[in-house]
Chains A and B, each alone.
Chain A
Amino acid sequence: MTIVVSICIVILAAAVIVGLVRVLTAKDLGSRAIVSDLMYFSAIGMLTMFGILVSSSIVLDAIFLASMVGILATMALSRILTRGLR
């Protein structure tokens, strides 16, 4: 269990690093918004995998709540893109 979870953490960390590089090299704001959204979900996956690694009992609660409130960051970023207009 430890080995496969560590492999998952390494792959997700690679996804976060690739996303960081993409945010640094992106020219337009929309690309930065969507890549930061991808980094948010990758970080949630890393968090749950760390929870499995330390045998925590609340990993399902954590990923449930994070998937429910994940839309708020995207909504905020899209409102920022349109400068507060709908």
Chain B
Amino acid sequence: MNDAVATALVGVFGISGSLLMLFSALAMFRVRDALSRINVFSPATGLGMPLIVAAVYVYDIHTEGFSWGSLLMAVAAVLCLIIVSSVASNTLSRASVLSGQPVYRKTAPNRLARPPAGVVDEDPDSPDQPRAGA
């Protein structure tokens, strides 16, 4: 691989990956709650970081030649990034819902905002709660 091709590939992969990270950081300002931020965080780890790994792998081929070890390492890094981002997003969104982080008021449908029917046990003898049949 000659120098110009390597530079062009590193530039295309690296700059597009970096731009995805930057756009994801800018999107953190546009959405209003933690769950949507976790949602717009996915392009950064799902596509931006694998593109940066691709840039690094092209650079590695250019400087040290092809080897199966570095190919395995690059493929494992991409797979780890995708698995890590999905599992981490699941865990963090579950934690943010369980810890009661506010959800944007215009979110629709938002079935998590109120408990499902039959879950809340209301006291029928309570004076300030009118009876269902009364």
Contact = CB atoms under 8 A, between A and B. Distances in A.
Interface of A: 1, 4-5, 7-8, 11-12, 14-16, 18-19, 22, 27-31, 33-35, 37-38, 41-42, 44-45, 48-49, 51-52, 55, 57, 59-61, 63-64, 67-68, 70-71, 74-75, 77-79, 81-83, 85
Contact of A30 (B14, B22, B63, B99): B99
Contact of A31 (B14, B34, B45): B34
A34 B92 contact: yes
Interface stretch (B48-56, B117-125, B126-134): B48-56
A11 B95 contact: no
A37 B88 contact: yes
Contacts of B99: 29-30, 81-83
B101 A70 contact: no
Nearest to A42: B21
Given A33-B92, A67-B84, A22 B25 contact: yes
Interface string B10-33: 110011011101101110110001
Nearest to A73: B88
Given A4-B14, A11-B18, A67-B53, A38 B92 contact: no
A44 B76 CA distance: 16
A78 B14 contact: no
Nearest to A10: B18
B37 A48 contact: no
A18 B26 contact: yes
A39 to B, nearest CB: 8
**Would you list the 5 A-B pairs with minimal beta carbon distance, nearest first?**
A30-B34, A78-B95, A30-B96, A4-B11, A74-B88
